[in-house]
């Protein structure tokens, strides 16, 4: 997720449109790397000293959608909207081609005061904007504007537990939260980099389901 980014103001306006009546996003100390479009804007965190290491496989593994929510998201990943988000420019970008591949989850954990967004891809915690990239997670004040669902399968529960383990070293009280979005990759357009579209898990956001889009570096 490291290519041409929208101007920050445009991202914030898009975030407001997608999340609907969400409160204003908190002030930030970091922003996504170039090429990443996101519907929520949060503080950057630092790499935790403990927790699962990033997956070591050369290529991300495809996951078969199991739950109704995952299957619905997989169908949406086929749409032009998702493909434009994956290009990094959801309004004017060229929709990416190829079959989407379900690869993991965006998980949000919180303690009621602070929240932490964590990527769990290929069964392990990765950098949030790239497998080997910092930040390892995104930290922000908790204001209940990032909707989540309770884990609905054993695999989702494992992802939630992996995210909590990642954050435990910096905030052991951050044990609440759940699955925030489903992560899809499209065929790589450059070595070890995948167009990515993330689709909110919360069914109430079906009309505006997109959470993140852009390029994700796998190595």
How many residues are present in the chain?
A: 219
**pLDDT score, position 144:** 82
Are β-strands 101-110 and 36-38 bridged in parallel, bridged antiparallel, or unpaired? unpaired
The full set of domain ranges for the chain reads: 8-217
pTM score: 0.78
**pLDDT score, position 185:** 97
What would the DSSP string read from start to end of the chain? --SPPPPHHHHHHHHHHHHSSPPPPPP-S--PPTTEEESS--EE----SSSPPPP--SSPPP----SHHHHHHHHHTTSHHHHHHHTT-TTTSPPPPS--EEEEEEEEEE-SSEEEEEEEETTEEE-SSBTTPSPSSEEEE--S-S--B---SHHHHHHHHHHHHHHHTT-TT--EEEEEEEEEE---SBTTEEEEEEEE--GGGTTS-EEEEEEEE--
* Each residue's pLDDT expressed in tens, for the chain with a length of 219 residues: 333 333 222 333 333 333 333 333 333 333 344 355 665 443 433 333 333 344 456 789 999 999 999 999 999 999 999 999 999 999 999 999 999 999 999 999 999 999 999 999 988 999 999 998 899 999 999 988 889 999 999 999 999 999 999 999 999 999 999 999 999 999 998 888 999 999 999 999 999 999 999 999 988
**pLDDT score, position 38:** 60
């Amino acid at each position: 997720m490291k290519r041409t980014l929208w101007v920050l103001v445009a991202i914030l306006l898009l975030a407001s449109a997608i999340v609907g009546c969400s409160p204003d996003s908190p002030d930030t100390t970091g922003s996504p790397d170039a090429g990443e479009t996101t519907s929520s804007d949060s503080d950057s965190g630092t790499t935790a000293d403990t927790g699962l290491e990033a997956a070591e496989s050369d290529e991300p593994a495809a996951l078969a959608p199991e739950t109704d929510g995952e299957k619905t998201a997989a169908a949406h990943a086929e749409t032009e909207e998702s493909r434009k988000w994956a290009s990094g420019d959801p309004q004017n970008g060229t929709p990416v081609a190829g079959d989407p591949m379900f690869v993991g989850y965006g998980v949000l954990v919180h303690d009621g005061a602070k929240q932490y967004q964590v990527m769990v891809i290929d069964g392990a915690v990765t950098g949030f904007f790239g497998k080997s990239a910092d930040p390892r997670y995104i930290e922000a004040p908790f204001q209940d504007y990032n909707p989540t669902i309770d884990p609905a399968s054993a695999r989702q529960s494992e992802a939630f537990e992996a995210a909590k383990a990642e954050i435990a070293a910096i905030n052991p009280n951050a044990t609440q939260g759940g699955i925030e979005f489903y992560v899809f990759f499209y065929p790589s357009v450059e070595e070890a980099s995948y167009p990515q579209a993330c689709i909110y898990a919360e069914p109430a956001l079906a009309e505006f389901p997109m959470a993140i889009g852009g390029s994700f570096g796998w190595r």
